[in-house]
């Protein structure tokens, strides 16, 4: 209830085509999933919303109320797996990439 009043006071959204409750749910879901497409898919059960609209909501929200203020230095690791079939056998091929920032 307080968050809805806060969003109305901050006047984050100019247009009222989509109810603020759905926008709040979309922002909260994005924070949990970190994926605008996944969030749009979840919200499609309630209201049709594009992933671009969700991205814009999150950016507006972050301008007024930063979600995270602290940046951390991290070592990035990317891992991928694929299955290759040869001679009627399945082989799992893994690849990993490590990026160390200095």
Q: Answer whether residue 69 shows pLDDT above 60.
A: no
Q: Report helix, strand and coil shares of the chain as percent, to nearest 5.
A: 45, 20, 35
pLDDT at 11 over 90: no
pLDDT top residue among 97 and 56: 56
Instruction: Please give the model's pTM, rounded to 2 decimal places.
Output: 0.55
Q: Which of 5, 2, 12 is nearest to 63 (CA)?
A: 12
Whether the CA torsion 46, 48, 54, 55 is positive or negative: it is positive
Q: Is it the case that residue 22 has pLDDT exceeding 80?
A: yes
102 has a pLDDT exceeding 60: no
Residue at token pair 């109305």: 8
| Residue percentage of the chain with pLDDT more than 70 | 84
Residue 68: pLDDT above 90?
no
Q: Are 46 and 73 in contact (CB under 8 A)?
A: no
């Amino acid at each position: 209830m307080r968050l809805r009043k806060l969003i109305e006071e901050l006047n984050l959204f100019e247009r009222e085509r989509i109810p603020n409750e759905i926008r709040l749910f979309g922002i909260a879901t994005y924070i949990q999933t970190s994926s605008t497409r996944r969030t749009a898919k979840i919200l499609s059960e309630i209201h049709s919303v594009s992933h671009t609209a969700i991205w814009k909501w999150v950016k507006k929200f972050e301008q007024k109320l930063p979600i995270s203020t602290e940046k951390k230095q991290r070592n990035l690791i990317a891992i991928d797996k694929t299955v290759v079939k040869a001679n009627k056998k399945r082989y799992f091929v893994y690849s990993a990439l490590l990026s160390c920032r200095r």
